[in-house]
Structure 1
Amino acid sequence: MRLGDRLRQARESARLSQVQVKGYTGINNKTLSNYEKNVSSPDPYTLKTLADLYGVTTDWLISGEQPDFQKSTLVISSEDLRLLGIFKNLPIEKKQAIEILLSDTEDSTKKK
């Protein structure tokens, strides 16, 4: 099994579509498809991003050793992915405003 095969297997095991991966990472569907078909390979940053999203190690993606599909208990819903995709494309000023809002919300929750 090659890198692209493991990328596809990890994505499918994480129950993510290529469209959902694009929404979360910004990686173009054609580019992701080319990775999974072994036409091209992701750069190290992209490989780490995909490994984290899929809940596997980069070591496993590269070598096929130590499969770890259950590494993370983090579950990302399609709604979470949709919101992350929207947030990713916001201008910095809006991202900062949202961060302040979330920080204020977190602070008020801790006081209760």
Structure 2
Amino acid sequence: MWQYILYADNNMLWSEVDCVFGGGTAAATRQWQRAEGLTADGVVGPNTRGRADNYLAANGTAVTYFGATGTLSFTRSSGAGYYYYNGIRITYNRSGGTLPGC
């Protein structure tokens, strides 16, 4: 899920979204943090998640992230912690998200 946010904010290419939080994602995260005036440590901690929350809007089960260059629309399931993007279930919690089917 975080890589999708980085993509929507033009910090990652679509081809770089691989569901692995590796060096490329950490570098893109630092770039995002700098642009947001945060400490650029490459960690998606509470301050980073909190800032990203500023760009979220929810309406029932629909959740939209308004990025700098793109908009992401997710659907939240009735069970806590599950979101769907283009029909793929995303598990998201404090440690990040996983995209089955990547």
TM-score bracket for this pair, using the shorter chain length: 0.3 to 0.5
Q: TM-score, normalised by structure 2?
A: 0.33
- Name the structure with the higher strand share: 2
Q: TM-score, normalised by structure 1?
A: 0.31
- Name the structure with the higher helix share: 1
Q: Based on CA coordinates, which of the two structures has the bigger radius of gyration?
A: 1
